[in-house]
């Protein structure tokens, strides 16, 4: 065996605190070392050439490089080995920059530590074996979970790039929260008008399969090869047959609260949630309907001309395979029922921001007139409370929900545009207008439209006869403020939706302390999750406005297509491997695995059926948690086997 | 019959005698008898709340220790010390939680208590009498014991601060409490809601800046009257004093002629449950509640 040792000076980065010449000399005496050299920049072309020449000249079969972190140049040096026909996994990198020279100013100690690390590496190198990179096939279809604006955008982008996409939506229509909004900041363009063209496009796109009323119930497999079970709940109306004629509406005897209008208007048990809904079909809500058991009532079925109603529909489970998954499961507003200081949602005229969106919307319960819920009168004074339940670590959400400053400003402005003589007062902690044209929008509300802004929190909101008593503080003047208003709108924050929580637990996606899905890296991998092939878009990862959501959705689509466009995916060779004869089937490795890559299987061995661990190499990330957890030493991580690590440790100990 | 170790505190023996006597009387009727603990001392009051000085926490800890011994001598008594005063309740609860959670605080206190041959073993819970009525006795039983429903009494339930704050001491939801309303309702009174039910009464400013108390009380009473109340029910001796005395002052200054009598919740119970009227010590009130009670034919 012949090992080549290469020490990098990294300009003065390493050489100033490590005596590189000394360690190069000493390395020559280490076992199996055939050649040992120093160079100013090992990563440069001449540096790489140096190694290549030596491989030819000395017939080297292992390489040790002492330089910077393997995160920087492992790939560079591996390709050097591959060029010369060596296996890329017989390279060992010793990090004497980040681990030694950058964190130490004593040259003697730095040299000593570098030499110890290098000795360990040479001993480990002797035990390294060539490893094979494996390949898996890719299924060229994508799954998008969640039919809000994030899911819609992601599905459209993937479909437009030519890949089949399945879009799964839990409710009866796609569109999500954006479909409930009246206007969007800062341009004040109508939310439905910019959203519905995209919804229609989803519906007629040949590459998109839309599954409404559906939920993902199981996800198995790995990048390129996910096996997914989707439960389709019955609509009781055949989508293709329903013509939206509405003949069923007058005959349906049931009246329920309309969820789309936040409960402010009635709907029948058979209904369409809003005129632009996609799929464009009525639905029967089985919880409201009397006639799912048709003995009681079949009125709608009797009048339905196209015979679209089918009480016998059953839930069905669809099993499909996908190459990539995008999770776009969105948010739920923080419930005003949690906010005691503002009345726990018991005061009729204290409403949430989303309630207000419906009240101010032309398609809403009041047809765009601003009327308060208790008595239908036009409120003369409306108070908008920012950060209702946000930025309050002691009682509510600790974080800023990002969109509330802007939507409250928009709400106040809309109120002033409709009720010209009215008074709109915003209580705020800080005004955060970090977005394109956002600050200008706020200035316009405050200066042109005379919206009043008071800096301070509202401590209490109390019912006082027909009015609402608001007690707060103006922190700019230091005075306490008490005033009466006719209506209060609470700018409630963004929390992870039930769907987001369910999907995170179903797919073992890491979540942050607030329940949002955690990105693989908060800055540099904001769209990836820790699981390869699963991407995130929209508010499932945290509060976002519409532009950010749409951008992230397009990013996720492009990431997904990066997988779908491959015929095969290469998997890292440094995966865990089980020695069947040593494994006793305790399952501790499966518990330790953060990527769900290990499952326990029963096999026939020595004439008995025994339980042993099985590693799915496509899912394994080579972290080594299982190898550390295994009491029997039955799991080894290729490239970092126990014998290699022990050789390294005993060399470090000066043995 | 359950007996409770009862800690009175200073107010109940001086300017809130009617509160104590009515409470003791109704507690007997409800088989939840309050028995005064022997050898009690000051609860420690505001000192314990503003300082982390352990010296200030010796007094409340000694009460907890003595009450623990007292419980042993009572009938079916749970390990609970019961208070009537909101301030005592708050003080004892805060200190009890604090020392239960932090052994290092209890140790030096117990070292001091050795001189009194006391040692607190972290075995007591502090309860306000309202909590006993709500959680242990139950409104149903109270309703059954009502002999004279308080018909015509339109009560505004005023909480003040100490029943609901701080978090460790609150006896009900701090934003929308219901215990006084539920109790008054079970006595047959009509509940009047006014938004200022937890608005500060002015508290200790009565000592140095009476005008602050005056302004606060004026607002509270005004709002209650506007909502249609003819009486106020309270649980705190300081609230009671401020609301009572300041109204009388306003009358003297000619600001207000229509006064709302102030009742402790136990006084309403005593009237409804047919206890003799004199135990309420209405003669010590600034505004005599008898006038209203006579008008409503409740006495």
Tokens of A595: 């990527």
Split at pLDDT 50, 70, 90, the class of B56 is: confident
Average pLDDT, chain B: 93
Q: Are residues A145 and A182 in the same domain?
A: yes
Nearest to B60 by CA among B75, B40, B77, B78: B40
- Counting the structural domains of chain A, the total is 4
pLDDT value at B185 more than 90: yes
Q: Are residues B65 and B190 in the same domain?
A: no
Contacts of B176 in chain A (CB under 8 A): 340, 343-344, 346
CATH number at residue A630: 3.30.70.3270
A80 in a structural domain = yes
A463 in a structural domain = yes
Q: Are residues A340 and A487 in the same domain?
A: yes
Inter-residue long-range contacts of B46-52, CB under 8 Å, 24+ positions, other chains counted: B46/B87, B46/B91, B46/B204, B48/B91, B48/B94, B48/B95, B49/B90, B49/B91, B49/B94, B49/B166
Q: Output the pLDDT for position A17.
A: 94
Query: Rounded to the nearest 5 degrees, what angle is found at the Cα of A52, between the Cα atoms of A48 and A53?
Result: 115
User: DSSP assignment, residue A448?
Assistant: I
A469 in contact with chain B, both atoms CB, cutoff 8 A: yes
Give dist(CA A337, CA A109) in Å, integer: 63
Query: What burial letters (b/e) apply to A223-233, b meaning 16+ CB within 10 Å?
Result: bbbbebebbbb
Q: Are residues A364 and A474 in the same domain?
A: yes
CATH number at residue A184: 3.50.50.60
A505 in a structural domain = yes
Distance from CA of A472 to the nearest CA of B (A): 13
Pairing of the two strands A91-95 and A62-67: parallel
Give dist(CA A638, CA A88) in Å, integer: 13
Contacts of A11 (CB under 8 A, 6+ apart): A40, A41
A197 in a structural domain = yes
A181 in a structural domain = yes
Q: Are residues A632 and A521 in the same domain?
A: no
Give dist(CA A197, CA A535) in Å, integer: 25
Q: Are residues B97 and B166 in the same domain?
A: no
A-B interface: how many C-beta pairs under 8 angstroms? Answer: 21
Average pLDDT over residues B131-142: 96
Look-up of token digits 């369409």:
A272
DSSP assignments along A565-582, one per residue: T-SEEEE-S--EEE-TTT
What angle in degrees, to the nearest 10, is found between the helix axes of B103-113 and B86-101? 110
CA atoms within 13 A on the CB side of A10: 21
The dihedral built from the CA positions of residue A595, A597, A598 and A599, taken in this order, carries a sign that is positive
B223 in a structural domain = yes
Residues B228-281 have pLDDT tens digits of 999 999 999 999 999 999 999 988 888 778 899 999 999 999 999 999 999 999
Rg of chain B taking only CA atoms, in angstroms: 19
Query: Rounded to the nearest 5 degrees, what angle is found at the Cα of A390, between the Cα atoms of A389 and A394?
Result: 80
Listed in sequence order, the DSSP H helices in A290-437 are: 299-303, 353-360, 404-418
Q: Are residues B6 and B110 in the same domain?
A: yes
Tell me, rounded to whole angstroms, the distance of Cα B269 from its chain centroid: 13
Contacts of A395 in chain B (CB under 8 A): none
Give dist(CA B119, CA B115) in Å, integer: 10
Contacts of A89 (CB under 8 A, 6+ apart): A78, A128, A129, A130, A131, A573, A574, A639
Contacts of A344 in chain B (CB under 8 A): 175-176
Split at pLDDT 50, 70, 90, the class of B50 is: low
B97 in a structural domain = yes
Assess contact for A186 and A440: CB atoms under 8 A: yes
Q: Identify the closest residue of chain A to B227 by CA–CA distance.
A: A465
Is B226 close to A465, i.e. CB distance below 8 A?
yes
Which range marks the domain in which residue B191 is found?
Answer: 146-295
Q: Output the pLDDT for position B48.
A: 66
Tokens of A246: 């509405």
Q: Are residues B159 and B256 in the same domain?
A: yes
Assess contact for B93 and B85: CB atoms under 8 A: no
Q: How far apart are the first and last CA of chain A?
A: 21
Q: Are residues A463 and A603 in the same domain?
A: no
Q: Are residues A163 and A177 in the same domain?
A: yes
Give dist(CA B185, CA B181) in Å, integer: 6
Q: Are residues A462 and A538 in the same domain?
A: no
A89 in a structural domain = yes
CATH number at residue B291: 3.40.50.11810
Give CA separation, A285 vs A171, A233, A263, A469, in Å. 11, 11, 15, 39
Tokens of B56: 């200030």
Identify the domain boundary among A521, A537, A564: A564
Q: Identify the closest residue of chain B to A395 by CA–CA distance.
A: B167
Contacts of B156 in chain A (CB under 8 A): none
Q: Which residues does chain A have with pLDDT short of 50? A: none
Q: Output the pLDDT for position A293.
A: 80
Tokens of A515: 């329940």
Contacts of A341 in chain B (CB under 8 A): 175
CATH number at residue B48: 1.20.1050.140
Give this complex's ipTM.
0.81
Identify the domain boundary among A545, A564, A583: A564
A175 in a structural domain = yes
Look-up of token digits 């002999």:
B147
Average pLDDT over residues B61-70: 95
Tokens of A162: 């030519």
Give dist(CA B5, CA B38) in Å, integer: 9
A370 in a structural domain = yes
Distance from CA of B193 to the nearest CA of A (A): 9
Assess contact for A481 and A456: CB atoms under 8 A: yes
B135 in a structural domain = no
Q: Show which of residues 330-349 on chain A sit within 8 Å of chain B, judged by CB atoms.
A: 340-341, 343-344, 346
Contacts of B195 in chain A (CB under 8 A): 462-464, 469
> What are the strands of the beta sheet with A479-485, ordered from one edge?
A458-464, A467-474, A479-485
Assess contact for A433 and A405: CB atoms under 8 A: yes
- Counting the structural domains of chain B, the total is 2
Neighbours of A15 (CB within 10 A): 18
Rg of chain A taking only CA atoms, in angstroms: 32
Contacts of B194 in chain A (CB under 8 A): 464
Query: What burial letters (b/e) apply to A442-461, b meaning 16+ CB within 10 Å?
Result: beebbeebebebbbbbbebb
The dihedral built from the CA positions of residue B153, B156, B162 and B164, taken in this order, carries a sign that is positive
Give CA separation, A495 vs A330, A350, A357, A406, in Å. 9, 20, 18, 17
B112 in a structural domain = yes
Q: Are residues A591 and A471 in the same domain?
A: no
Residues A322-375 have pLDDT tens digits of 999 999 999 999 999 999 999 999 999 999 999 999 999 999 999 999 999 999
Distance from CA of B192 to the nearest CA of A (A): 11
Is B175 close to A462, i.e. CB distance below 8 A?
no
Q: Are residues B152 and B264 in the same domain?
A: yes
Distance from CA of A480 to the nearest CA of B (A): 13
A465 in contact with chain B, both atoms CB, cutoff 8 A: yes
Q: Are residues B126 and B261 in the same domain?
A: no
What angle in degrees, to the nearest 10, is found between the helix axes of B58-72 and B103-113? 80
A241 in contact with chain B, both atoms CB, cutoff 8 A: no
Q: Output the pLDDT for position A133.
A: 86
Q: Are residues B121 and B77 in the same domain?
A: yes
Q: Are residues B78 and B183 in the same domain?
A: no
Which range marks the domain in which residue A580 is found?
Answer: 572-638
Q: Are residues A149 and A119 in the same domain?
A: no
Q: Output the pLDDT for position A572.
A: 81
Assess contact for A409 and A442: CB atoms under 8 A: yes
Q: Are residues A474 and A434 in the same domain?
A: yes
Q: Are residues A546 and A615 in the same domain?
A: no
Nearest to A537 by CA among A209, A219, A151, A208: A151
Q: Are residues A518 and A576 in the same domain?
A: no
Look-up of token digits 């790995």:
A222
Residues B146-175 have pLDDT tens digits of 999 999 999 999 999 999 988 989 999 999
Give CA separation, B148 vs A25, B133, B181, B184, B266, in Å. 105, 19, 18, 13, 14
Assess contact for B43 and B88: CB atoms under 8 A: yes
Q: Output the pLDDT for position B49.
A: 65
Identify the domain boundary among A101, A127, A153: A127
Nearest to A634 by CA among A597, A592, A593, A580: A580
Look-up of token digits 């006391």:
B118
B204 in a structural domain = yes
């Amino acid at each position: 065996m012949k090992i080549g040792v290469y020490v990098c000076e990294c300009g003065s980065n390493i050489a100033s605190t490590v005596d590189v010449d000394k360690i190069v000399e000493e390395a020559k005496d280490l076992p199996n070392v055939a050649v040992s050299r120093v160079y100013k920049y090992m990563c440069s072309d001449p540096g790489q050439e140096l190694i290549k020449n030596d491989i030819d000249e000395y017939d080297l079969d292992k390489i040790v490089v002492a330089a910077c972190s393997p995160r920087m140049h492992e790939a560079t040096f591996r390709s050097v080995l591959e060029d010369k026909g060596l296996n890329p996994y017989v390279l060992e990198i010793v990090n004497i920059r980040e681990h030694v020279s950058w964190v130490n100013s004593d040259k003697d100690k730095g040299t000593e530590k570098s030499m110890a690390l290098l000795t360990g590496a040479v001993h480990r190198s002797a035990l390294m074996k060539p490893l094979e990179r494996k390949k898996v096939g890719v299924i060229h279809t994508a799954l998008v979970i969640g039919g809000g604006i994030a899911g819609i955008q992601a599905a459209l982008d993937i479909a437009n790039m030519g890949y089949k996409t399945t879009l799964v939506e839990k409710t009866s229509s796609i569109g999500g929260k954006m479909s409930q909004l009246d206007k969007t900041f800062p341009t004040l363009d109508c939310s439905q008008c910019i959203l519905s063209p995209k919804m229609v496009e989803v519906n007629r796109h040949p590459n998109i399969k839309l599954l409404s009323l559906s939920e993902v119930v199981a996800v198995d497999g790995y990048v390129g090869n996910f096996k997914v079970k989707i439960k389709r709940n019955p609509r009781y109306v055949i989508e293709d047959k329903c013509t939206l004629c509405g003949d069923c509406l007058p005959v349906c005897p049931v009246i329920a609260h309309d969820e789309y209008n936040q409960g402010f208007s009635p709907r029948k048990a058979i209904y369409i949630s809003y005129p632009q809904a996609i799929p464009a079909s009525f639905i029967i809500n089985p919880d409201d309907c009397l006639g799912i058991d048709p003995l009681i009532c079949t009125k709608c079925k009797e009048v339905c001309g196209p015979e679209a109603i089918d009480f016998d529909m059953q839930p069905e489970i669809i099993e499909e395979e996908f190459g990539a998954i995008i999770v776009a499961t969105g948010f739920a507003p923080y419930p005003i029922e949690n906010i005691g200081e503002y009345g726990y949602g018991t005061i009729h005229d204290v409403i949430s921001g989303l309630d207000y969106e419906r009240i101010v919307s032309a398609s809403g319960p009041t047809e765009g007139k601003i009327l308060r819920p208790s008595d239908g009168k036009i409120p003369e004074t409306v108070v908008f409370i920012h950060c209702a339940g946000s930025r309050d670590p002691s009682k509510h959400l600790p974080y800023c929900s990002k969109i509330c400053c802007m939507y409250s400003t928009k709400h106040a402005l809309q109120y002033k545009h409709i009720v010209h003589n009215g008074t709109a007062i915003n209580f705020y902690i800080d005004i955060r207008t970090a977005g394109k044209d956002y600050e200008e929008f706020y200035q316009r509300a405050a200066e042109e439209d005379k919206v009043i802004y008071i800096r301070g929190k509202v401590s209490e909101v109390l019912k006082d006869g027909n009015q609402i008593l608001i007690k707060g503080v103006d922190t700019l003047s230091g005075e306490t403020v008490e005033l009466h208003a006719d209506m209060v709108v609470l700018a409630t924050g963004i929390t992870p939706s039930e769907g987001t929580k369910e999907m995170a637990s179903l797919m073992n996606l890491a979540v942050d302390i607030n329940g949002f899905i955690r990105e693989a890296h908060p800055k540099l991998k904001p769209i990836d999750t820790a699981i390869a092939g699963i991407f995130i878009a929209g508010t499932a990862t945290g509060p976002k406005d519409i532009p950010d959501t749409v951008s992230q959705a397009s990013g996720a689509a492009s990431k997904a297509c990066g997988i779908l466009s491959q015929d095969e995916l290469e998997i890292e060779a440094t995966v865990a491997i089980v020695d069947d004869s040593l494994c006793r089937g305790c399952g501790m490795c499966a518990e330790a695995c953060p990527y769900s890559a290990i499952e326990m299987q029963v096999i026939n061995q020595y004439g008995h059926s025994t339980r042993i661990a099985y590693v799915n190499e496509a899912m394994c990330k080579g972290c080594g948690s299982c190898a550390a957890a295994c009491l029997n030493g039955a799991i080894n991580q290729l490239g970092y086997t126990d014998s290699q690590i022990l050789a390294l440790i005993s060399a470090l100990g000066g043995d | 019959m359950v007996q409770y170790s009862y800690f009175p505190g200073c107010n109940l023996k001086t300017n809130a005698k009617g509160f104590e006597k009515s409470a003791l009387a109704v507690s007997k009727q409800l088989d939840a008898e309050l028995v005064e603990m022997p050898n009690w001392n000051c609860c420690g009051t505001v000192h314990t709340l503003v300082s982390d000085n352990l010296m200030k926490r010796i007094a409340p800890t000694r009460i907890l220790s003595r009450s623990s011994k007292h419980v042993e001598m009572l009938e079916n008594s749970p390990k609970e010390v019961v208070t009537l005063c909101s301030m005592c309740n708050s003080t004892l609860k805060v200190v009890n939680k604090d020392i239960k959670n932090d052994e290092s605080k209890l140790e030096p206190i117990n070292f001091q208590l050795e001189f009194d041959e006391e040692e607190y073993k972290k075995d007591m819970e502090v309860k306000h009498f309202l909590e006993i009525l709500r959680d242990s006795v139950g409104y149903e039983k109270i309703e059954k014991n009502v002999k004279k429903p308080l018909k015509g009494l339109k009560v505004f339930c005023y909480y003040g601060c100490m029943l609901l704050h701080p978090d460790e001491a609150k006896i009900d939801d701090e934003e929308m409490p219901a215990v006084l309303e539920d109790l008054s309702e079970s006595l047959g009174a009509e509940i009047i809601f006014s938004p200022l039910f937890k608005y500060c009464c002015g508290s200790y400013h009565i000592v140095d800046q009476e005008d602050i108390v005056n302004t606060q009380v004026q607002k509270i009473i005004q709002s209650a009257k506007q909502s249609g109340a003819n009486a106020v029910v309270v649980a705190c001796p300081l609230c009671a004093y401020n609301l009572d005395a300041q109204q009388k002052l306003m009358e003297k200054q000619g600001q207000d002629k229509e006064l709302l009598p102030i009742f402790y919740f136990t006084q309403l119970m005593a009237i409804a449950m047919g206890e003799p009227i004199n135990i309420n010590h209405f003669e010590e009130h600034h505004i005599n509640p008898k006038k209203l009670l006579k008008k409503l034919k409740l006495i």
